[in-house]
Amino acid sequence: MSLFILRCTSQYLFIYPVGAMSSNIPAPPAPVLPKPSTPGCYNEVTSTAQLKSKHKSSSYYEPSAEQELVDTRNRLWDLEGWKESPLLTVYQYLPSILQEGPQCGLVALAMASAITQSSVSVQALLNEAQSRGFSYQGEMFSVDDMASLALAVLPEVSVKIIAGLQDNRDAVVHSLAQGAILLVPYDADRNHEPCCRKGHKAHWAAVCGALVCSNRCLLAARQGKSRRLMLWDYGLLAESNNNLVEFSPERGEDSSKYLLPSGGVRAGLCGRALIIQQC
């Protein structure tokens, strides 16, 4: 498990490997990651794009946790309206896994299992979900079933269901700072970011970090349709999570079978998420 506390200033990003949030972090002896003088130029630390060019023989270059923070840091500074440096916050590295078919929830749980000593594969999760009657082909339309599945395959974790992300922001960020992972269903837009489609594009993500600046909070997340670490506004994700109210008519028209809980998408996903933390 790679858990980091970050201290951002107007010029530098300092990284501290830690086990929990601390208010008494010593000043760093020297800057670790210099802020680029021009966009895309990292001086002592190269970007992932530059690293990829050195690995042309590979179809995908997986950056290290520290390297991914460099890219995330620079995307933060490029965000329109982000005029202040983020406050002290946390990020935990999770391996990226691409989904095959409607297995976004299982992929999110498989990525989250990396915080334990017994990470599980998507196939193992699929087998367990099917045997317990939670899913036909990997779809997970119930937060309760996801919680039960997590406890069944990861006995060393605790699971807490969150009802209402917007009202529980401080508790969620605090849990992330303690090394927890937030598994959250939401509507995914074409670029995989949160949107509001009434649940027609229901998807799952594993949130592994938070960056807070003034009253704004961004979440670092992974999901199964891209290897890129995503940065989402907390409020937008909460709004998307709270709009999951109905099953997509398009999904209902195809020949695939989907297992829905009693009460449908609204009862299973709307306004709900779960926090997974190692005991």
What is Dmax (Cα atoms) for the chain? 61
CB 222 within 8 A of CB 96: yes
Pick the closest to residue 120 from 82, 169, 155 (CA basis). 155
Q: How far apart are alpha carbons 214 and 151 in whole angstroms?
A: 36
Q: How far apart are alpha carbons 59 and 51 in whole angstroms?
A: 13
CB 106 within 8 A of CB 125: yes
**What is the β-pairing status of strands 202-213 and 89-93?**
antiparallel
Quickly count: other Cβ atoms within 10 Å of residue 179's Cβ: 18
Which one of the listed residues 104, 195, 208, 217 is annotated catalytic?
A: 104
Please confirm, yes or no, whether 104 is among the known catalytic residues.
yes
What are residue 230's phi and psi, to 5 degrees? Answer: -95, 155
* Active site members: 104
